[in-house]
Amino acid sequence: MASLLRATTWGLCPWRGYCSKGTQGALSEGFVAALKAVVGPPQVSMAAAVREQHGQDESMHRCQPPDAVVWPQNVDQVCRLAALCYCQGVPIIPFGTGTGLEGGVCAVQGGVCINLTHMDRIVELNPEDFSVVVEPGVTRKALNTHLWDSGLWFPVDPGADASLCGMAATGASGTNAVRYGTMRENVLNLEVVLPDGRLLHTAGPGRHFRPRPWARRPSARGLGTHLPYVSPGSRKSAAGYNLTGLFVGSEGTLGLITATTLRLHPAPEATVAATCAFPSVQAAVDSTVHILQAAVPVARIEFLDDVMMDACNRHNKLNYSVAPTLFLEFHGSEQALAEQLRRAEEITQHNGAFHFFWAKEAEERSRLWTVRHNAWYAVLALRPGCKGYSTDVCVPISRLPEILVQTKEDLKASGLTGAIVGHVGDGNFHCILLVDPEDPEELHRVEAFAQQLGRQALALHGTCTGEHGIGLGKRQLLQEEVGAVGVETMRQLKAMLDPRGLMNPGKVL
């Protein structure tokens, strides 16, 4: 069907080199009529306010609106829209919830923004195989609500209630990755509309792999299950190149993800949250390293620095110690939990922790974690009217203490307002910097600080982005990270899949 349409649309609309001129707002009436013929007139908008809304995400990148916004209802319509844009040379920007942090939806060359949220079906749930297929309009919270009484859940949690397909597109992760992995380990298959309108199933249509049998009882093996529980690539398949892996993290530059097959996990039997404060950054990070080395299967381990704790106290009217603090969460059976808590308390106390609190009841736990969940807003409240910019480096855990201590010093020396919060169990941390959007000089200093931090992470064999992606701002750092041959290979892949350079132009490469 799609290929038939492609053939016909090719004939109907010859290439007009739309984007090579870089002109915006230049969609012809005939082209708009063709969009309307695919999705129906009410599902196409050229209204300024709608376009503005779709030209930005939650970052401080200055963005441009697309020329039109289109709402397809199904994958067939997406294929036809892509084919139409392809043959007219019009850029395509896939749009989910707009919660990205690197300007990934910015329409730098104008074009058509495809808002995929009307496609919101949970297509197929396979509880026995621990997998589910979802469309782009399904967010992680919606999926977990749907799974509520199935005994299963999807643990990847970047904070925002993002679209799961968008999370696949950006290689998202967040607080649970230390135990359950990131999107890279949890995406089993993707349905992708290629720029010319062809449909690709990256692992073959309908394919999802069965987990290892012992993944059913994560707690049964006690402490020792930590590392092997979701070891990346443990799923068996030796069938050629890993196309799924190619599209995870491609940020809409290779195709439009219209469905994703996800690996589900058994919902934890019981959960305990804990928090403790430390005399120094070093002591907090050393504790993290020791907890991981002792193979305590911690589900979340988050670091907040003193500035962040102060901001959180003010914002939430609390009185936690204003000191480097760890927030932890443990999942497992009652018995396993008691043991995990005991080990964690022992290790943190050995590193000089004070005030080790823990909470078991859901309400108490959520009160304890409120601080972590509201961290972004707490920092923003430090200087009302300012925007937040979050750096996102990640280093091997052994190098984490030195880079955190250094960053803290650099931050003080820079005179910028910023706080540190991190998924330290993965070696990933964010420096949330405040910037007055009306002050170009400050903006410049923030960008310079972020670039320098990215380079420090690279020097320690880390990455410039643990989870936010490259988007607009980190293209230079990507080149430094993967090297000339790496970038050249990426460009060749991009040129092969998107020869006209229409998929989300200006991002990643």
Ligand X SMILES: *[C@@H]1O[C@H](CO)[C@@H](O)[C@H](O)[C@H]1NC(C)=O
Distances in Å between the Cα of 503 and the Cα atoms of 83, 122, 154, 254, 256 are 12, 26, 29, 6, 8
Q: Which stretch binds ligand X (CB under 6 A): 231-239, 275-283, 341-349, 397-405?
A: 231-239
Nearer to ligand X, 244 or 463 (CB): 244
Smallest gap from Cβ 313 to ligand X, in A, equals 9
Q: Which stretch binds ligand X (CB under 6 A): 10-18, 182-190, 341-349, 385-393?
A: 182-190
CB 114 within 8 A of CB 94: yes
CB 452 within 8 A of CB 458: no
Smallest gap from Cβ 234 to ligand X, in A, equals 7
Q: Please work out the total of residues on this chain that contact ligand X, with binding judged by CB under 6 A.
A: 21
And the tokens for 157? Answer: 């949690």
Q: Which stretch binds ligand X (CB under 6 A): 27-35, 114-122, 451-459, 490-498?
A: 114-122
Residue 357 CB contacts under 8 Å (≥ 6 apart), including other chains = 274, 275, 276, 368
Smallest gap from Cβ 163 to ligand X, in A, equals 10
Distance CA 467, CA 422 (A): 12
Distances in Å between the Cα of 13 and the Cα atoms of 5, 9, 55, 291, 400 are 12, 6, 27, 61, 55
Among 61, 140, 179, 184, binds ligand X (CB under 6 A): 184
And the tokens for 326? Answer: 């760890």
* Number of CB atoms found within 10 A of residue 213's CB: 7
248 is a site residue for ligand X (CB under 6 A): yes
Q: Which stretch binds ligand X (CB under 6 A): 244-252, 272-280, 394-402, 484-492?
A: 244-252
Query: Residues 50 to 89: which contact ligand X by CB under 6 A?
Result: 53-54, 71
Among 242, 366, 476, 492, binds ligand X (CB under 6 A): 242
Smallest gap from Cβ 274 to ligand X, in A, equals 13
Among 157, 185, 329, 481, binds ligand X (CB under 6 A): 185
Q: Which stretch binds ligand X (CB under 6 A): 123-131, 243-251, 343-351, 438-446?
A: 243-251
Smallest gap from Cβ 88 to ligand X, in A, equals 23
120 is a site residue for ligand X (CB under 6 A): no
Distances in Å between the Cα of 35 and the Cα atoms of 5, 7, 455 are 13, 17, 44
**Nearest residue to 18 (alpha-carbon basis) of 502, 507, 508:** 502
Nearer to ligand X, 43 or 144 (CB): 43
Q: DSSP letter for 184, please.
A: H
352 is a site residue for ligand X (CB under 6 A): no
**Nearest residue to 417 (alpha-carbon basis) of 453, 392, 452, 381:** 381
Q: Phi-psi bin for 404: left (phi > 0), alpha (psi -120 to 50), beta?
A: alpha
Smallest gap from Cβ 282 to ligand X, in A, equals 24
207 is a site residue for ligand X (CB under 6 A): no
256 forms beta bridges with 193
Among 24, 46, 58, 117, binds ligand X (CB under 6 A): 117
Smallest gap from Cβ 463 to ligand X, in A, equals 15
Q: Which stretch binds ligand X (CB under 6 A): 112-120, 280-288, 399-407, 442-450?
A: 112-120
180 is a site residue for ligand X (CB under 6 A): no
102 is a site residue for ligand X (CB under 6 A): no
Nearer to ligand X, 220 or 318 (CB): 318
Q: What is the CA radius of gyration of the chain?
A: 23
Smallest gap from Cβ 189 to ligand X, in A, equals 9
Distance CA 506, CA 501 (A): 9
Nearer to ligand X, 118 or 445 (CB): 118
Smallest gap from Cβ 239 to ligand X, in A, equals 8
Residue with CB nearest ligand X?
245
Smallest gap from Cβ 351 to ligand X, in A, equals 21
Query: Residues 288 to 347: which contact ligand X by CB under 6 A?
Result: 318-320
CB 208 within 8 A of CB 261: yes
DSSP letter string, 464-489: S-SSS--TTTTHHHHHHHHHHHHHHH
Residue 282 CB contacts under 8 Å (≥ 6 apart), including other chains = 401, 405
Nearer to ligand X, 74 or 242 (CB): 242
40 is a site residue for ligand X (CB under 6 A): no
**Nearest residue to 25 (alpha-carbon basis) of 39, 43, 46:** 46
Q: For binding to ligand X (CB under 6 A), which residues are involved?
A: 53-54, 71, 98, 115, 117-118, 184-185, 187-188, 233, 235, 237, 242, 244-245, 248, 318-320
